[in-house]
Structure 1
């Protein structure tokens, strides 16, 4: 049978030592955690360098790990150098070939399509441009997957001028009611020390009002996959 005798003095002493040690660690850790959570402290170079080193190591260590069962599969359609040479090295992505790739992704029943191509200026092929405009204009059926295009941003010439959307030859097509075409920001920050891309910008503030928010591509895709709704648009 177990003894129900009260704890000895030595046991009480060890317990008090453990409690004092725990409280001391909490007294140090909690204020430190609060400090490093503040943006001004968390972004200090001596802390971000350590964080980057740890994250780089973890990403390299787990880069070959199989994705979890809940991961959404991705498919990349790469316009590589060989393809570009076959296309006779055009100055811009040919709009007719780009349209074919978009239609291919739609036919493959992709959940979301992101076109990582700069489309602010028309190409030298007016016919191909017109067909792309017509396709984007009529891209409104509810069964179509969201089609995301990167939105160019024009930054102010000085601190008093707010960023604005860069005009595009597709603007009228993009502003159609019930359009399934969305715009996002593809801006990112390169590390000054080694030039490595580690941080994407979550959103861009456009104009002088709080309603002018352009989400990043990552944030927009996350919301579409999570909520199956349209992302906020620039007002």
Structure 2
């Protein structure tokens, strides 16, 4: 008898939420009028479906208004990180849009062999650019700071002058750095002047300044890319004027579709007349083609980097290959810079590829945390370019689409609980979510869509479990009452 009472007490604390619902239902029946009478005509299963819909959709609506809360962001980050790791190293979802990458990196061995220089030697950087250009690269991204002049700048200037030659088709993106306003200052972030600006300016047809800034999440992980940077540039005449620098991934996308001039004009239209005014990022759309469009503002989910190319391979992992110019080609090829310098006549078919020249040695201080762990900044650029070429922006479903899908799932869950109550219903529902919805979410995510349905369904499931506990409490109380009556009858008989 004492064990039964203890069991009742332990169950009661789990059923408190359902007791509140019972009280709310009683109040509704007392004052609900015609709606309450209609409610009484519904079957028990129909009532359960309606209650579950109210709970699930109510939470879904609440989540839609809480996208910037810490709790929702953390859940969002955990979900996206998990999905990304399921597709780590996978083949591109759209092979026809994939472009192979070659990462020429100044690794630890190269850095030490070159004497651990403070600046990457400009003559060697010129040789790396020449190697990529002469071997047919479509685009070269230089992720090495060129803000300050060095005694070896002439070879680099001479190599970059070759981009002026007739017949050149290679584009070069120079990653630029910025200076934030000092305390008390207002206006735009300042673009650090490069020694190359005097020679090539900011409007060269093949040498383009670009940004590689990303939004750092609260946990220090790089998950979201930035579209563009409104900055203040001091020109040759000393005058300051606002300019718009696209992100390197957006610039690459635009050039691959012959839309770079349109992109520059679209961004320039968002600028204020002077450098003393901040620029609000508009929710305007830059449309690349009928399939791809990018919001110049917009929420963080749309700017999620769909990482798929790891820096270091795990045991048993291999690089995916794509069909390129009729030949199976690795999606990513890594070449230490010293190898190219040591073998000036080295030939590699880079025709149409995107080449990134960057650093990976520790002294560069260019390592960042990602959902795949630490990786060099150049590898983040590679993943961002690959992501935008494959998917453009990630497309979360709208509120109506979410609610319709959640409604369908909640109805199915409610029917399952009506058929298999208690723990069996919970287990079957869990298996249903994993077996049916998880593959769908993974497939949609790989196609560039993010489907988040877990929290509303979890709330419905918890409600059903609470209801089950409540029913078990009622049964336990009835059994306790029966045992108490039997004991009383036995005492009277004795």
Q: What interval of TM-score do these two structures reach, taking the shorter chain for normalisation?
A: 0.7 to 0.9
In structure 2, relative to structure 1, the CA distance for the partners of 1:34 and 1:51 (3 Å cut) is closer
* Stretches of structure 1 lacking an aligned partner (at least 5 in a row): 1-12, 36-40
Residue 89 of structure 1 aligns to a residue whose secondary structure is coil
Task: Give the corresponding residue for 2:260.
Answer: 229
| Number of equivalences | 211
Q: Is the 8 A contact 2:163 2:170 kept in 1?
A: no
- The answer to whether 1:76 aligns with 2:103 is yes
Q: Which has the higher helix share?
A: 2
1:34 Cα offset (Å): 5.3
Q: Is the 8 A contact 2:178 2:190 kept in 1?
A: yes
1:120 Cα offset (Å): 0.2
* Stretches of structure 2 lacking an aligned partner (at least 5 in a row): 1-41, 234-239, 269-494
Report matched runs for 1:18-37 at 5 Å: 28=58, 31-32=61-62, 35=65
**Is the deviation greater in 53-62 or in 149-158?**
149-158
Counterpart among 128, 131, 137 of residue 155 in structure 2: 131
Task: Give the corresponding residue for 1:154.
Answer: 179
Cα distance in 2 for partners of 1:176, 1:56 equals: 37
- The answer to whether 1:53 aligns with 2:78 is yes
Counterpart among 219, 222, 226 of residue 197 in structure 1: 222
Cα distance in 2 for partners of 1:33, 1:47 equals: 8
The structure having more radius of gyration, on CA atoms, is 2
Cα distance in 1 for partners of 2:177, 2:222 equals: 19
**Is the deviation greater in 44-53 or in 170-179?**
170-179
Q: Is the 8 A contact 1:113 1:147 kept in 2?
A: yes
Deviations 1:188-217 (CA, angstroms, capped at 9, x unpaired)? 233332x22212222112249997321111
**Is the deviation greater in 43-52 or in 201-210?**
201-210
Task: Give the corresponding residue for 1:90.
Answer: 117
Task: Give the corresponding residue for 1:182.
Answer: 208
In structure 2, relative to structure 1, the CA distance for the partners of 1:52 and 1:172 (3 Å cut) is same
TM-score of the aligned structures, taking structure 1 as reference length: 0.76
Q: Is the 8 A contact 1:152 1:185 kept in 2?
A: yes
Q: Which has the higher strand share?
A: 2
1:154 Cα offset (Å): 1.7
Deviations 1:154-210 (CA, angstroms, capped at 9, x unpaired)? 2111352421211111111221765300011111233332x2221222211224999
Q: Is the 8 A contact 1:142 1:180 kept in 2?
A: no
Task: Give the corresponding residue for 2:69.
Answer: 44
In structure 2, relative to structure 1, the CA distance for the partners of 1:138 and 1:104 (3 Å cut) is closer
TM-score of the aligned structures, taking structure 2 as reference length: 0.38
**Greater relative contact order (Cα < 8 A, sep 6+):** 2
RMSD, aligned α-carbons: 3.2
Residue 105 of structure 2 aligns to a residue whose secondary structure is coil
Residue 115 of structure 2 aligns to a residue whose secondary structure is coil
Cα distance in 2 for partners of 1:64, 1:178 equals: 36
Task: Give the corresponding residue for 1:120.
Answer: 147
Q: Is the 8 A contact 1:136 1:173 kept in 2?
A: no
